[in-house]
Amino acid sequence: MSGVTLTDQFGRSIEYLRISVTDRCNFRCTYCMPLAGLPWLPKAEILSYEEIVAIVAQLAPLGLRRIRLTGGEPTIRPQLVSLVQQLRAVPGVEDISLSTNGVRLPELAQPLRDAGLDRINMSADSLRADRIVAIARKSLAFDPVVSLKAAEAAGLSPIKINVVVLRGVNDDEVGDFARLTRDHPWHVRFIELMPVGDMRELTWEHVVPTAEILDRLSSVDVLVPDDGPSRGNGPAAYYRYAGAPGTVGVITPMTHTYCGTCNRVRLTADGRLRTCLFGDHEVNLRDALRAGLPLEPLFRDALAGKPKEHALLQMQVGGLRALSQVGG
């Protein structure tokens, strides 16, 4: 492990880069994207894989050790396996993870693992076929459990499952998801709905507070606080049912409980570095890279402006860009 660390103005060490490889998606989740899609970025605006690797190669020596590929849906961009292979070869990169809706995992999990992918976070908001279609608004004959088993069989670990809990839509499935952790070494994290993106169909009424999610989890069995999966120290609080191979967790984006330890920055598909998921401050690394300029001074400037915390609670539903656009 390299000893270099980068810190921001509040002393937080920054070692984690989330890279959006595309703003497009094969789903249209109600909380993320309008049914008609978004004004997609033109191809020329999007970083090529060579450019992504060049950016990582300049930032890794400064202390970036962990990478997450996300989107939009990263697995719909052609040749994702080759990107993973190239990133794995960058000195200093210690951990590569993927955020995905899981649709393409049955065929991609093993090639991605062989290319050097370490682990995945898979979104799954329902275990029922009709509901998956109602939430994702695309009918792709997809079974999340089949995808999760494919990821496990490929050796990806840990496997985390992200469930956005929506009142009256899937909140009655909290227990079903939680029970999966008794049979599988999977880590199910329940996420509060955030007021970002289009969300025309959703309101504050759909937000299920964490306290209520914990009540539902406790009704399955006694919750024992746990350290959670060993790799990736994200913003979740974890619990385990006695004897279970997996864990359950809650992520509470609407409170500031994890801004103080935030160790991440984001690279959008068109090469903008964002230091806070919910802020609008961006630094254009792509044009600097294309002009042959060094990225380190831009990166250090961006970190100097990383905000102390987000202001989500002050915002209106639909007031911010969708997570698919900023690499959620």
Query: Is residue 32 at the binding interface for ligand SAM, with CB under 6 A as the rule?
Result: yes
Stretch that binds ligand SAM, among 8-16, 88-96, 193-201, 272-280 (CB under 6 A): 193-201
Query: Is residue 267 at the binding interface for ligand SAM, with CB under 6 A as the rule?
Result: no
Angle 155-183-148 (CA atoms, 0-180°, nearest 5)?
Answer: 40
- The distance of closest approach from Cβ of residue 15 to ligand SF4 in the complex, given in angstroms and rounded to an integer, is 24
Look at residue 194 and give the partner it binds from ligand SAM, ligand SF4, none, a contact being a CB closer than 5 to 8 Å depending on partner kind: ligand SAM
Query: How is the beta sheet containing 224-226 ordered, strand by strand?
Result: 224-226, 237-240, 247-251, 186-192, 159-165, 119-123, 95-100, 66-70, 16-20, 264-267, 272-274, 282-284
Stretch that binds ligand SAM, among 66-74, 86-94, 141-149, 226-234 (CB under 6 A): 66-74
For 310-315, the CB contacts below 8 A with 24+ separation are 310/256, 310/259, 310/276, 310/277, 310/278, 310/279, 311/278, 312/194, 312/195, 312/253, 312/254, 312/278, 313/254, 313/255, 315/195, 315/278
User: CB-wise, 156 or 193, nearer to ligand SF4?
Assistant: 193
Do 74 and 80 contact (CB within 8 A), yes or no?
yes
User: CB-wise, 58 or 324, nearer to ligand SF4?
Assistant: 324
Query: Is residue 210 at the binding interface for ligand SAM, with CB under 6 A as the rule?
Result: no
Query: Is residue 232 at the binding interface for ligand SAM, with CB under 6 A as the rule?
Result: no
Applying CB under 6 A, the residues found at the interface with ligand SF4 are 25, 27-29, 32-33, 71-73, 101, 123, 324
Question: According to CB under 6 A, which one of 144, 158, 197, 228 is a site residue for ligand SAM?
Answer: 197
Query: Is residue 277 at the binding interface for ligand SAM, with CB under 6 A as the rule?
Result: no
Radius of gyration of the chain (CA): 19
Look at residue 28 and give the partner it binds from ligand SAM, ligand SF4, none, a contact being a CB closer than 5 to 8 Å depending on partner kind: ligand SF4
